[in-house]
Amino acid sequence: MFDDFFHRVSLVLLLAVTACTTAFAQHKDSLNGRKIIISYIGIDGNDVTKTSVILRELSFKKGDTILATKWGEVALRSKNNVMNTGLFNFVDIDTLTSPLGETNVLIRVVEQWYIWPYPEFQIEERNFNVWWNQDHRSLQKVDYGIFLSDNNTTGNKEILRLKLQLGYTEQLGLSYTIPYITKNQDIGIQFNLNYSQNKEIAYTSIGNILTFLSTPNATLQEQLTSAIDLTFRQGLYNIHYLEVNFASCNINDTLLKVTTNYLPFNLKSTAFFGAKYYFKRDLRDYAPYPLHGYYFDFSLNDYGLMLALPKQQAFNITYLQSSIHKYGKITHKLFYSAEAEGKVSQNGGEPYYLQRGLGYSNDFVRGYEYYVVDGNNYALLKGEVKYQLLNIPIINLPTQQLPFLRKRQFNKTNFALYLTAFSDWGYVGNADPNVVNNFLADTPLWGKGVGIDIVTYYGIVLRAEYSFNQLNQGGFYLHFLADM
């Protein structure tokens, strides 16, 4: 206890001395050619997070010698790395440098609130706009339940999640992520187990609109999935994943009467192993809403592995998927972002249960939110410019009167507002031969529009956009993630 008190008093004194010597740091001309030596790194505010987790994210270490003219860039990169762990609301890095070049570094963090036991209420659709307009805001397309998440279980960045869900999809899920199991903090492991059942599923598309089958009095589909991932973090910005997974699916006889290609070999039930290799390189400044840097990922996926489980037939479906994203500044307040993404699958019709073209998750051309384009291969290009209308990095909230929100995890927020203009292009090839009137496949898709992005508390992003497509359709759309 005494050591912890002494440590904190030392950090406070270091801040006081730093404030008194600001004038010394302002002589920029004296930085040319100078080098600084990192003699001490102190961290304050990490009440839960282990110091080693923060040190792992720094692009410098004790004893390093760095050109003084490069220090600002190094410190900013390290700050962004710490923020992108998802563990903190705010990160500040201060320094005190002596005339001899020895530098003490103080890192102050404000931790997020990590334990979230809360009721779950979410829409079961590809995006909010489909639910609002095509589903007419039907509460039957809503999931509800209890979601427990501990995003920093022992302070080592572990993530424990437990889900009990009812509604459209009845689901029970458990996952546990241990990012580091070695002393070098480079190898980790993940476990996932999920059981779900539905009384309604999308089993095909007609005219590029998903078509659903419903059996209100019986379960239509029952699934069990599990996965084990071994992760390797190479340096600061590269992560490799090697996954082995298992899936089983059982469907109601009713579904067999309306489709011939839902599960492999049109079976009523299937079970199979799969494998995946995934790599990502992430140099974004702020992952929830990047303005600088780039991101690249690549995955090789295989369903079936040509392994015939008991009472099953062997099959193999392989596909490659990759994307690259670039972000940068044009002027002081004007930014751009660009994305190229693609997927290549083996030829031939894939079971609908396993195939995905454009229109799912965040893979769509803006202006085509209501459509899906089923096929084995696709290409997607996105471009955007954004003008920063407002940026308030720190807002002190009046939470002192609320006992729970009095904690420092909740008494500050940020707010930024951007005006955007965008243009997207997409193409789906090798159209699924089992769907009806797939007229958007094998033809270029182009969408364009303008919007407003709001970025705030805990990395929340709200996008309000008005888009046009090649079908001469225009519409207003809401999204709750950064598009790229």
Per-residue pLDDT at 295: 98
Q: What is the mean pLDDT of the chain?
A: 90
Shared domain check, 183 and 65? no
User: What is the percentage of the chain residues whose pLDDT exceeds 70?
Assistant: 90
| Domain end (from 92, 111, 130) | 111
Regarding whether 345 and 212 lie in a shared domain, the answer is yes
Determine the Cα–Cα distance for residues 188 and 348; give it in Å rounded to an integer: 37
pLDDT in tens, 89-104: 999 999 988 777 789 9
The answer to whether residue 119 is domain-embedded is: no
* pLDDT confidence bin for 410, thresholds 50/70/90: low
Q: Output the six-digit token pair for 3.
A: 């050591």
Asked whether residue 254 is assigned to any structural domain, the reply reads yes
CATH number at residue 67: 3.10.20.310
Residue 116 has pLDDT above 90, yes or no: no
Examine the domain organization and report whether 196 and 289 are in the same domain: yes
SS3 letters for 197-237?
EECEEEEEEECCEEEEEECCCCCCEEEEEEEEEEEEEECCC
Look at residue 128 and tell me whether its pLDDT is greater than 70.
Answer: yes
> What is the phi/psi pair of residue 356, to 5°?
-145, 125
105 and 183 belong to one structural domain = no
Please check whether residues 15 and 97 belong to one and the same domain: yes
Tell me, yes or no, whether 410 lies in a domain: yes
Does residue 20 surpass a pLDDT of 50? Answer: no
pLDDT band at residue 17 under the 50/70/90 scheme:
very low
In a domain, 117, yes or no: no
Range of the domain at 11: 2-111
Q: What is the pLDDT of residue 72?
A: 93
Confidence bin at 407 (pLDDT 50/70/90): low
- Give the residue with greater pLDDT, 346 vs 12: 346
What is the pLDDT averaged over residues 280-308? 96
Give the pLDDT of residue 5: 41
What is the tens place of the pLDDT at every residue in 37-63? 999 999 999 999 999 999 999 999 999
The two three-digit tokens of residue 448, written as one number: 């364009």
On whether residue 118 sits in a domain, the answer given is: no
Judged by average pLDDT, the poorest of 233-237, 255-259, 394-398, 437-441 is 394-398
pLDDT of residue 196: 98
pTM: 0.83
Long-range contacts of 329-335 (CB under 8 A, 24+ apart): 329/291, 329/292, 330/385, 333/387, 333/388, 334/385, 334/386, 334/387, 334/388, 335/291, 335/385, 335/386, 335/387, 335/388, 335/418
Which CATH number covers residue 308?
2.40.160.50
CA pair distance 189, 116, nearest whole angstrom: 22
Residue 390 to residues 334, 393, 472: CA-CA distances in angstroms? Answer: 12, 10, 33
Per-residue model confidence (pLDDT) at position 118: 75
To which H or E segment does residue 3 belong? helix 2-20
Split at pLDDT 50, 70, 90, the class of 3 is: very low
Same domain, 50 and 199: no
Can you tell me the distance from the alpha carbon of 248 to that of 197, in angstroms, rounded to the nearest whole number? Answer: 12
- CA 109/CA 115 separation, integer angstroms: 18
| Residues 320 and 440 placed together within one structural domain of the fold | yes
How many Å apart are CA 367 and CA 425, to the nearest integer?
10
For the CA atoms of 31, 34, 37, 38, what is the dihedral angle to 10 degrees? Answer: 20
Question: Is position 149 within any domain?
Answer: no
Q: What would the mean pLDDT of 459-481 be, rounded to a whole number? A: 95
Please say if the pLDDT value at position 18 is more than 60. Answer: no
Instruction: Give the whole-angstrom CA distance, residue 162 versus residue 173.
Output: 6
Task: Tell me whether residue 171 is in a domain.
Answer: no
- Please give the tally of structural domains in the chain: 2
Residues 216 and 90 in one domain: no
Last residue of a domain, one of 68, 88, 111: 111
pLDDT tens digits, one per residue of 371-388: 999 999 999 999 999 999
Q: Judge whether 205 and 196 are in contact, CB under 8 Å.
A: no
Q: What is the pLDDT of residue 179?
A: 95
Domain end (from 111, 136, 154): 111
pLDDT of residue 304: 95
3-state secondary structure of 375: strand
Q: What is the mean pLDDT of residues 332-350?
A: 92
Task: Flag whether 143 is in a domain.
Answer: no
pLDDT per position as a tens digit, 181-228: 999 999 999 999 999 999 999 999 999 999 999 999 999 999 999 999
Write down the pLDDT at residue 51. 96
Residue 332 CA, distance from chain mean position: 27
**Tens digits of residue pLDDT in 429-465:** 989 888 999 999 999 999 999 999 999 987 899 999 9
Per-residue pLDDT at 24: 40
104 and 205 together in one domain: no
